[in-house]
Chains A and B, each alone.
Chain A
Amino acid sequence: MNMSFAEMYGDLSLIIPEVVLFVFACLVFAMGARGKQSTGSMAVWSFFGLVITTILLLITDKGQAFGVMFLADDFALAFKLIILVAAMFTVASSIDLTGKFPAHRGEYYGIVLLSAVGMMFMVSAGELLSMYVALELSTVSLFVLAAYNKFNTKSAEAGLKYVILGAISSAVLIYGIALMYGLTGTTEYGQIKDALLQLRFSAGEFPRGFFVAAVLLIAGFGFKLSLVPFHMWAPDVYEGAPTPITAYLSTASKAAGLAVFLRVFFGGLVIAQSEWLMILAVLAALAMIVGNITAVVQKNIKRMLAFSSIAHIGYILVAVVATNAAGVSSMTFYMMAYLFANMGAFIVAIVVAQKTGSDLIMDYSGLSRRSPLLAGYMLIFLLSLTGIPPLAGFVGKYYVFMAAIGQGYMWLVLIALLTSVIALYYYAYVMWRMYFAKEGEYPADPVPFPVLPKIVLSVAVLAILVIGVFPAPFLDFARTAAQSFVP
């Protein structure tokens, strides 16, 4: 490939946001190595880097770079914004945690930024190999972060479990990629689509290997997205990892995984949807059923939220199964709504644990007395996750179910709705502990609600209310994003 400098430069201009974020990551690493900066200033620099990246992202042109390796379209933009916002929440809620490990705080923030860079490349990748490399950048970073609280055995266990299962899933994924390449002779999504069309045209059906490749890809992504039955690692890792990282894992990493999944299956394998759509529908149903039912019996709030996030991925897959523009845009919208509610719930867990030192739901008893505002915020996050109007989560669910019913998936929507009644039960249990517990069942001293989390959570609550009551601009944004690759 002979490219003029101008073309080369044009290509580079599209990845400026990622490059800048990478530079900030290195900067924070260096600050950590010198060891003279305070924790706060490193967090501020990381946050600043994320803000700059967001601004650059908004002003960067749309287009393709490096052939089709890097796609800067509206879809990528939407998901990169979700990832960056999630990273901002994570950075802002980590100061207490990193303060405990002064020698390693530079690495912490640097790695958070690096994993965000990886995720951003993931959602923009236009072919399988660059996608795989980006995915590894983000997951390897997350392995380290999960084990960050290294003197805690649970955190170490989380890191180890995540590494082993992550490696296996990567192997499965790369095997699927190799098979797909063997069948079609290409790794580019668009060309895979053409090649599949060609194959069906010449042979009348898809080669048997295609089904194997599709299943391997689904399994590989299934691990990353913690779909049932590939979800076994998730609750342990979520429980053991430091809470800000759990929040990050369950939002940003899921968002990136979903975006890639959509690109591969809608961009590449959509021609052969008869082969894999039913698998996806069943996986969605399983995720909703298993996630929600298992969440009911959890006593630890992080595990409960872990299982509920499995269920939420199930709801999102319902949208994916609709395989049309409405499905993709509803999924994007759902992800936005989920981002704020889920992040918010985890940050409340951080604030509560700072006082009580516990993640047990039992220890949320009387929170409405010990810190009324904190309990009120948690209430809004939980109600949004349940899907009660007029909060963002409701509009997300409505839109997803609308997309699915429009395509005739009434059974799937009924399962989704029935399981959301189960979800109400375990979310309401937390509300019950917070509001209904009798005096004397809990310590009376107030739970402090420091200024920084107060600001962060206020932003999240405001976002949930605004998206819920005035969803129109956000829906339009999600629709534009969807139209950039599903006509």
Chain B
Amino acid sequence: MSGLLSWMIFIPLIGGVVILFFKQEQKTAIRGISTVASLLPLFLSFMMLAEYDPSTSAMQFVERASWIPALNVFYHVGADGISVPMLFLTALLSFVSIVASFGIEKRVKEYFAFFLLLETGMMGVFAALDFFLFYVFWEVMLVPMYFLIGVWGGPRKEYAAIKFFLYTLFGSIFMLVGILLLYFNTEPHTLSFLELIDHGPAFSHNLQLLVFVFFFIAFAIKIPAWPFHTWLPDAHVEAPTAVSVILAGVLLKMGTYGLLRVSLPMLPYGANYFMWPMAAIGVIGIIYGALVCMAQKDLKKLVAYSSVSHMGYCLLGMAAVGSVAGIQGCMFQMFAHGLITGALFILVGVIYDRAHTREIDAFGGLWLKLPVYSGVMVLFVMGSLGLPGLAGFISEFMVFIGSFSTFTWLTGVAVLGVVLTAGYFLRMVQKIFLGEFNTKWDGKLPDMNFREIFTVAPLAVLMIAIGFYPKILSMWMQPTIQDLVRLIAR
């Protein structure tokens, strides 16, 4: 199918515009259109998987058309082994989140319109092969995210929303300067990812170092890597459930995606030069995030900080720039964390919708009263703490294999993070699901309904499938990762 990626990018936008013509009161129609507008890209993403040729690292589904000739800007999209899993994840989580948002009753029309605009931005980031286009999609996401947090969020939503907006914009201005510096240092001037990557080693060393730092600021804020992470807990805690899912599942991946797509292959000298600081930042994130989790009383905050910890593994994995296993681990972790943490946020939302509190200490003994909910929650918690047989284990294991030979001691410290993760998650499970039942909740907490099970089921299936048979994920990535390692070694 021609224009596959463009359809995936712009169908949600079309849906969002259509919604604007409905009345606020026509809630069912608006929900229906949103479901269709997010289901179609998911369907197209299956078509993409069917048509994708995993034996090559070349860009596929490429579309290229001149957009702004005066600025050398092209509408250029394509997908390879790095972006295909991310595009699929985006389509899946967007659909799941839209279904999970049916409970939203306040200003339904704007909510779904913003959500679909957000999906367009995310798809665009993962498909763009032109820097200008990439930047446009990158920034386009900020506005709907600002409003989704600010209008439908919790008590401190305004603060969280503006903090998110300011932080990310602050990061992206450095990216913009970096883009322009690279543009003027290639001859002929170009904004194409592929041409800039070809040109990579020819950039002077000083330029590579400077631009690498600029890009790293932009991407590290998005990941978020310590010490740029402080916007994340606020945004997560205040955001409505579905927005947290997207935030953790897709938006954070853009940071690591940017590093893999742009920084490492385009600036190989910079990547090799900064591998130690990157690994160190990653390990600090792992340990720091886990320690902060230990002290959390709020369930959602706990999951939010666990993201800081888990994204640290990604950074550690890719910092081992010469190793296929490290980068593969990083990409596995991106995917697995998207599934697992996405599901965890949905599950936090489920209990919050019923109890209107997320206080860990307020619960106890839920296992007997809500067996389905507890079972699903514990399954994902096990995935998150890296139980063998689930996706989280595979990714962490590969990260450690990749990074051990380069950063022996740092990896040793990072492994400690796994223990800490088990510590805070098991403590949480113990307090919420085991022990005495808090009689305050007697009869007030029904078990998960069909819609809620439906939203987490695909995520659980994928998590288990990847855990048992990682090849269903790695087969898409292999040639691209090998190519990436070759590009970094230039």
Q: Are A and B interaction partners?
A: yes
Give the interface residue-count category, chain B. Answer: 20 to 34
List the A side residues contacting B69 at CB < 8 Å.
472
CA distance A402 to B73 in the complex (A): 13
A401: B residues at CB distance < 8 A = 176-177, 180
CB contacts (< 8 Å) of A410 on chain B: these are 177, 181
A389, A402, A405, A421: which contacts B166 (Cβ < 8 A)?
Answer: A421
Q: Which of B121-144 contact A (CB under 8 A)?
A: 132, 135-136, 139-140, 142-143
Taken together as a complex, chains A and B put the C-alpha atoms of A402 and B182 apart, in Å, by: 11
Q: How far is the CB of A268 from chain B (nearest CB, A)?
A: 28
| B102 adjacent to chain A (CB < 8 Å) | no
A-B residue pair count with CB separations less than 8 angstroms: 80
* Smallest Cβ-Cβ distance to A410: which chain B residue: B177
Chain A residues touching B, range = 20 to 34
Task: Judge whether A453 is part of the interface by a CB distance below 8 angstroms.
Answer: no
A45 proximal to B (CB < 8 A): no
A479 touches B173 (CB 8 A): no
In chain A, what residue has the closest Cβ to B72? A402
In this assembly, does A399 line the interface, its C-beta being within 8 Å of a C-beta of chain B?
yes
Check B71 against A388 for contact (C-beta < 8 Å).
Answer: no
Question: Could you say which of B71, B161, B169, B181 contacts A421, with CB atoms under 8 Å apart?
Answer: B169
* In the complex, chain B residues whose CB is within 8 Å of the CB of A472: 67-70
Task: Name the segment of B150-158, B320-328, B384-392 touching the other chain.
Answer: B150-158
Partner of B142, one of A388, A405, A418: A388
Whether A435 and B147, one on each chain, are in contact in the complex, defined by CB atoms closer than 8 angstroms, is yes
Closest A residue to B150 by CB, please name it. Answer: A436
Q: Is the CB of B166 within 8 A of A425?
A: yes
Would A406 and B176 be within 8 Å (CB), given that A390-B136, A432-B162, A472-B68 are in contact?
no
Q: What is the CB-to-nearest-CB distance from A289 to chain B, in angstroms, rounded to a whole number?
A: 15
Shortest Cβ distance from residue A425 to the other chain B in the assembled complex, whole angstroms: 6
Give chain B's interface secondary structure class.
helix
A394 within 8 A of B: yes
With beta carbons under 8 angstroms apart, the residue of B70, B140, B147 that contacts A390 is B140
B183 CB within 8 Å of chain A: yes
> Do the beta carbons of B170 and A421 come within 8 Å of each other?
yes
A402-B183, A424-B166 known; A413 vs B68 contact (CB < 8 Å): no
Check: B228 CB closer than 8 A to any chain A CB: no
Q: Is B146 close to A, CB under 8 A?
A: yes
Contact partners of A424 in chain B: CB under 8 A: 165-166, 169
Q: Decide if B184 is an interface residue (CB 8 Å cutoff).
A: yes
Whether a CB of chain B sits under 8 angstroms from the CB of A428 is: yes
Q: Are B158 and A414 in contact (CB under 8 A)?
A: no
Is A476 at the interface (CB under 8 A from chain B)? Answer: yes
Q: Give Cα distance in the complex from A183 to B387, angstroms.
A: 84
Pick the contact of B71 from A383, A398, A428, A435 — CB < 8 Å?
A: A398
Query: A420 near B: Cβ within 8 Å?
Result: yes
A433's nearest neighbour on chain B, judged by CB, is: B158
Q: A421-B169, A424-B166, A432-B158 are in contact. Are A475 and B177 (CB under 8 A)?
A: no
Residues of B contacting A475 in the complex (Cβ-Cβ under 8 angstroms) = 68, 70-71
> What residues on A are CB-neighbors of B139 within 8 Å?
388-389, 394
Question: A357–B455 Cα gap in the complex (Å)?
Answer: 49
Nearest-CB distance from A363 to chain B (Å)? 18
CB within 8 Å of A: which B161-210 residues: 161-162, 165-166, 169-170, 173-174, 176-177, 180-181, 183-184
Return chain A residues, CB-CB under 8 Å to B132: 398
Contact with B along A385-429 (1 / 0, CB 8 A): 000111000110011011001100010011001101100110010
Given A398-B132, A475-B70, A417:B173 Cβ within 8 A? yes
A190 contacts the other chain (CB 8 A): no
* B180 close to A402 (CB less than 8 A): yes
* CA A424 to CA B158, docked complex, whole Å: 14
Q: Is the CB of A435 within 8 A of B150?
A: yes
Chain B residues with CB under 8 Å of A398's CB are: 71, 132, 176
Q: How far is the CA of A67 from the CA of B166 in the complex (A)?
A: 53
Write the B425-442 contact mask toward A (1 if CB under 8 angstroms, else 0).
Answer: 000000000000000000
Decide: A405 and B136 in contact? CB cutoff 8 A.
Answer: no
A398 to B135, CA, bound (A): 11
Q: Which residues of A contact B183 (CB under 8 A)?
A: 402
* Residue contact A428 to B176, C-beta cutoff 8 Å: no
Task: Using CB atoms, name the residue of chain B closest to A424.
Answer: B169
Asked if A10 CB lies within 8 Å of chain B CBs, one says no
Q: How far is the CA of A436 from the CA of B158 in the complex (A)?
A: 7
Known A-B contacts A389-B139, A402-B183; A425 and B67 likewise in contact (beta carbons under 8 Å): no
Answer whether residue A40 sits at the interface, using C-beta atoms and an 8 A cutoff.
no
Q: Which residues of A contact B161 (CB under 8 A)?
A: 432, 436
Residues of B within 8 A of A388 (CB): 139-140, 142-143
Question: Does the CB pair A421–B151 fall under 8 Å?
Answer: no
Given contacts A402-B183, A435-B150, A436-B157, contact A389 B135 (CB under 8 A): yes
The interface residues of chain A lying within 8 Å CB-to-CB of B170 are 418, 421
Contact of B177 among A417, A421, A435, A471 (CB under 8 A): A417
Chain B residues, Cβ within 8 Å of A402: 71, 180, 183
Q: Chain B residues near A413 (CB, 8 Å)?
A: 177, 180
Smallest CB gap from A429: residue in B = B162
A420 to B162, CA, bound (A): 14
B176, A417: Cβ atoms closer than 8 Å: yes
**Max chain A Cβ within 10 angstroms of own Cβ: one of B143, B170, B174, B183:** B143
Residues of A within 8 A of B146 (CB): 428, 431
A389, B70: Cβ atoms closer than 8 Å: no
- Please, which residues of chain B bring their CB within 8 A of the CB of A405? 177, 180-181, 184
- How far does the Cβ of A429 sit from chain B's closest Cβ, in whole Å? 8
Q: How far is the CA of A201 from the CA of B162 in the complex (A)?
A: 57
Quick one: closest A residue to B167, CB to CB? A421
Question: By the criterion CB–CB under 8 Å, are A383 and B162 in contact?
Answer: no
Are B136 and A389 neighbours in the complex by a CB distance under 8 Å? yes
Known: A389-B135, A421-B170, A428-B162. A436 touches B143 (CB 8 A): no
Which of B67, B70, B161, B165 counts the most A-chain CB atoms under 10 A from its CB? B70
Q: In the complex, A431 Cα to B170 Cα: how many Å?
A: 19
**Of all chain A residues, which has the CB nearest B142?**
A388
B70 to chain A: which residues have CB within 8 Å? 471-472, 475-476, 479
A118-151 CB contacts (< 8 Å) to partner B: none
Q: How far is the CB of A52 from chain B (nearest CB, A)?
A: 31
Q: In the assembly, what is the distance between CA of A479 and CA of B68, in Å? A: 13
Cα A259 to Cα B156 in complex, Å, equals 47
Which of the listed residues A394, A418, A421, A471 has the most CB atoms from chain B within 10 Å of its own CB? A421
In the bound complex, CA of A388 to CA of B173 (Å): 11
A405 to B178, CA, bound (A): 10
Q: Which residues of B sit under 8 angstroms from A390, Cβ to Cβ?
A: 136, 140
**B165 x A399 contact (CB < 8 A):** no
Q: 16 A-B Cβ contacts within 8 A?
A: A388-B143, A390-B136, A390-B140, A401-B176, A406-B180, A414-B177, A421-B169, A421-B170, A435-B147, A435-B150, A435-B151, A436-B150, A471-B70, A472-B67, A475-B70, A476-B70
Task: Please provide the 5 A-B residue pairs with the shortest distance between their CB atoms, ordered closest to farther.
Answer: A417-B173, A389-B136, A475-B70, A405-B180, A436-B150
Other A-B pairs beyond A399-B71, A428-B165, 20, CB < 8 Å: A388-B143, A389-B136, A398-B71, A401-B177, A402-B71, A405-B180, A405-B184, A406-B184, A410-B181, A413-B177, A413-B180, A417-B176, A418-B173, A420-B173, A421-B166, A424-B169, A428-B146, A428-B162, A435-B151, A436-B158
